[in-house]
Structure 1
Amino acid sequence: MTQRSTEDRHPASAGLHVRPAEGILADLFAAQQAALAAVGPALPGLARAAELGADALRAGGKMGYAGAGSSGLMALADCLELAGTFGLPPQRTPMLFAGGADALLHMVGSVEDDPALARADVAQAGLGVGDVVLVLTASGSTPYALTVAEAARARGAQVIGLANVAGAALFDLSDLAILLDTGPEVISGSTRMGAATAQKVALNLISALVGVKLGHVHDGYMVNLVADNAKLIDRAARIVSAVAGVDRATAETALAATAGAVKPAILVAQGHAPDTAASLLSGQGGHLSALVG
């Protein structure tokens, strides 16, 4: 197997085990900071990825995530947040994780080498024309990730490949290739460290920008959140109050009239009927900017 930069030796690796605890942590922390810095050069690619994802979702398509092992966990963490943060239906943001739910309880390495499993996952997710899938692999050569990319493209979906190694095989199968060049790990080959940190930050940025482009973020507020617990119900009321410029009681009344939907509640709080609010939002593609002061 070709040596990858993620498997190389980090300068801080030698003698790591004999250093004082705070020294070990200082080296690990410095490596995490360096991993964050690796995201900077990828910003143009991340912006393009968000455009592709938002375009797919706006047109009724899917924005999927795929990965194995640590990369899959980073993808899963971002994917699961989309419903609560931006109100995106889970069926529109499928997660393809090598080994499925069982692998989340006990990580099994063999599943990341199974191309048949990858092809089955792509088919089950229903990825095709008009869809986008974010495929992650630190090494850029994980068989599960490569097969997902190949199968998704064959079905007409666009592939956004994120890897931590220059010249990754994944990039040859991607419509958009994003390099997060984090280099060697202080604990050699442990890509749950720097590589995964960069991946998670990159995904945070992509999904946040997708939310903005879909009109689900207004003045930094999550105006399309799904309020399904006490914390989010309280947050929804505070958002309506702040954006509409009304008191808490008016905000709560408006939310009751819209079954908890924040965007139309903002307009209801400003005096519109619920049906009118829904119509106004539809006319603006879900964006509040032209409808509130």
Structure 2
Amino acid sequence: MTERELPDNANLAGLTTEARNPRSQDLDALSTLEFVRLLNSEDAGVANAVADAAEDIAQTIDIIAERMRRGGRLVYSGAGTSGRLGVLDASECPPTFNAEPGRVVGLIAGGEYALTNAVEGAEDSPEQGRADLEAIGFGPDDALVGIAASGRTPYVIGALDHAREIGAAAIAFTCNAGSEMTRHADLSITTVVGPEVLTGSTRMKAGTATKMVLNMLSTGAMVRLGKTYGNLMVDLQAKNVKLVERAIGLVITLTDCTREQAKALLDASNGEVKTAVLVQLAGVSPGEARERLAAVNGQLGKALAGSDAAP
């Protein structure tokens, strides 16, 4: 692509994520220890940038949870590091929260191959951003979080435009104030992390901010949907040795039973922690426990309320 063929929003001048960081101009002359301390010092400011966006993050969580309550999905769309982090967050929701497959989806420009390889030019097509949403049957009950550190990625802008056109929630997440993407979204999250230590390498501070915010969005939505009890991961899928042990520990913690009793309760409850806890504390069968949970949208606290059994 020649300079004359570049889209109008391709100019990176003025983006804080592309600016040269004055504190790292002598990066190649630093000792290794000085290098590590500099990166650590720069990273320390990322949490403050995320904190500045707290209200918008909270509003986004509520939007996502409301959409998911009515059967919709959370879909991330991004390119490069942003896309990979979206796919990562989506892939961790089923084992952590027992979220149904496909309830949280990560789309990356260039498709699955782009997860481990650079796909040049994939991010430059707004049409592909739309097409990838259409391919998964993206609908008006869904919520889209378009992720781009620069705030001007055409692939993501195309996805945001499609989401708005069909009445879905369209949220832009960027690391540059006043970015192009914010004009294509219903709501924007902006974490201004400033210039990177390595100029333009947004897998660094911008990537760290992205991971932090996506953790908040998916975890916050799942908490709102009753996937936790207090701060306990009671809806996990016990599919490996570590998670089996965690499930046993959760049942012991919540019911004060023995390890053998916890294992027996989980076996009788098909490994479902919430069901096992309700069986023990409310004195009901696994089937009745599931019915009680279904009646309160899976929220263990509400299922236990009134039974004098809540721990």
Matches within 5 A, 1:1-293: 1-3=11-13, 4-270=15-281, 271-290=283-302, 291=304, 292-293=310-311
SS of 2:163's partner is helix
Unpaired segments of 5 or more residues in structure 2? Answer: 1-10, 305-309
Question: Which residue identity is paired with 1:79?
Answer: A
How many Å separate the matches in 1 of 2:60 and 2:265? 35
Q: Deviations over 1:150-201 (max 9, x none)?
A: 1122222101111000011111111111110111111000000001101110
Number of residue-to-residue matches in the alignment: 293
Alpha-carbon distance, 1:96 to partner: 1.1
SS of 2:53's partner is helix
SS of 2:92's partner is helix
How many Å separate the matches in 2 of 1:208 and 1:2? 33
Question: Which residue identity is paired with 1:122?
Answer: L
Q: Deviations over 1:240-275 (max 9, x none)?
A: 121122222222111112211111111112221111
How many Å separate the matches in 2 of 1:229 and 1:103? 28
Alpha-carbon distance, 1:224 to partner: 0.7
- Residues 96 and 125, structure 1, Cα contact 8 Å, conserved in 2: no
Alpha-carbon distance, 1:30 to partner: 1.1
How many Å separate the matches in 1 of 2:88 and 2:285? 37
Alpha-carbon distance, 1:55 to partner: 1.3
Alpha-carbon distance, 1:47 to partner: 1.1
How many Å separate the matches in 1 of 2:279 and 2:96? 22
Question: Which residue identity is paired with 2:146?
Answer: V
Q: Deviations over 1:196-228 (max 9, x none)?
A: 101110111121211211111112111111111
Alpha-carbon distance, 1:85 to partner: 0.6
How many Å separate the matches in 2 of 1:165 and 1:125? 29
SS of 1:94's partner is strand
How many Å separate the matches in 2 of 1:105 and 1:78? 16
Alpha-carbon distance, 1:2 to partner: 4.7
Alpha-carbon distance, 1:115 to partner: 2.2
- Residues 69 and 109, structure 1, Cα contact 8 Å, conserved in 2: no
Question: Which residue identity is paired with 1:273?
Answer: S
- Residues 45 and 178, structure 1, Cα contact 8 Å, conserved in 2: yes
- Residues 53 and 191, structure 2, Cα contact 8 Å, conserved in 1: yes
- Residues 251 and 269, structure 1, Cα contact 8 Å, conserved in 2: no
Alpha-carbon distance, 1:134 to partner: 1.2
Question: Which residue identity is paired with 2:39?
Answer: L
Question: Which residue identity is paired with 1:287?
Answer: Q
Alpha-carbon distance, 1:232 to partner: 0.8
- Residues 78 and 207, structure 1, Cα contact 8 Å, conserved in 2: yes
How many Å separate the matches in 2 of 1:247 and 1:179? 48
- TM-score, with normalisation over the residues of structure 1? 0.96
How many Å separate the matches in 1 of 2:43 and 2:145? 23
Alpha-carbon distance, 1:149 to partner: 0.7
How many Å separate the matches in 1 of 2:242 and 2:191? 35
- Residues 250 and 269, structure 1, Cα contact 8 Å, conserved in 2: no
Q: CA RMSD, aligned part only? A: 1.2
